[in-house]
Structure 1
Amino acid sequence: MRRSSVPRDSVRLKLLAAVTAVPLLFLTACSGASGDPGGGESAPGQTSSTTASPTPTPTPTPTPSAKYKPASAEGPAENVPLPVMPEEAKVQSKEGLEAFARYWYEAANYGYETGDVGLVQAVSSPDCTTCLNYYGVVKAGFADGAWMAKSQIDVQDAYSELLLTPENRYQAVVQLRQDDMEYYATAGHIRTDESRPMPSAQLFEATWSGQQWTAANIATLKAG
């Protein structure tokens, strides 16, 4: 995902405001031949002594990676790269929570392109309302052979002070944009859901189990 520089002071103010706000729920071997390679017989009185030359080990040929193709009116996305959670996102720290939040949105983007929400489910609480809404959107977008295009979330900044809420959740503020969500079927374009023209900020809350982060709640913050 693309990242752009966003003033940290602006995001910090949103975080401090979010701490006291009530969250809003939105959304080889080869065998060698024996005997004389020439196939001739040994002369009388002589013993045939032929040593087979070792077969060279073939050098593996790298398999070229299939080329990524984004979704369009012609068809769904192909060969979408699988996002990998960075090691930093597996640490209980402010940087770890920020990295985890970024990864969560990368996993969500993967679902928008493939219809597979498994990556998000693996790191989200079953009680996360926004996550449940996301699953529903993706399921509907890929029903009956349909697919989604664009829809990608661009995380511009993520910031946390590792504040713990009474619900034992840690908070981060994520500033992002999202492309318009386009829906297609074999018959053609179905509809387009337009995104907000300006960047939005979301309160991202996660719990720490001692081993990993789990997304617990995501809510859009009111502007102003």
Structure 2
Amino acid sequence: MGRLFVLTLEGNFYSCKHCGTHLALSENIVSKSFRCRHGKAYLFSKVVNVTSGEMEDRVMMTGVHTVADIFCVCCGSIVGWKYETAHEMSQKYKEGKSVLERLLTPPGTLLFSSLEMESRKIMMSQLGTSRAHPTALTSRSFHCRHGKAYLFSKVVNVTSGEMEGRVMMTGLHTVADIFCVCCGSIVGWKYETAHEMSQKYKEGKSVLERFKICGPDGSHYSGSHDTHVAGSDADYV
């Protein structure tokens, strides 16, 4: 195995949440108005210490883009994506630039203060935050990148992200990611619009990823990142 060379940045920089590797300088931020499934994201003109995945076309809110996921060179965690080609003239400014998900924070800072995070944990343990009732379960045949997922007619205690078009195994859908109202973790997505007539039954319903939730009996589910996706809808990444 070759020697790993990692660049060290000086100044106000952003780093990998998991291992602390430097990724980008704040002075290279182009825009803070981007969104990802986990919340806010920033567009940078330059990032370092990342590797790129395979290029693929994705349908985003602003049209079709050819992008590649980017990963921390040290720990391998996915940290965002790079725009290779924008297919709309108005979006050409993104080409060659990279988006880092806001969950990556400058050294010494957290998304929440330690005290706030602790209070959230206490609140969650007291509430045992319930998200869906078993009788609202519509289908268990769905899949996500982490494994199994369930379709529910009704979920509670969640907030929704921005709507976006996603190409899934059963066609194009307009969806919004859903987040736990207490801890902010992404737990699945909601179908706003199904563009195929055969998929209209999904509209207004929500998918919860099985490994993100506890079952009615308190059981947990361990998903695998290598799970083969087949059958029903899988996310487009």
Name the TM-score, length of structure 1 as normaliser: 0.23
> Normalized per residue, which structure has more helix?
1
Q: TM-score, normalised to structure 2's length?
A: 0.22
**Bigger Cα Rg:** 1
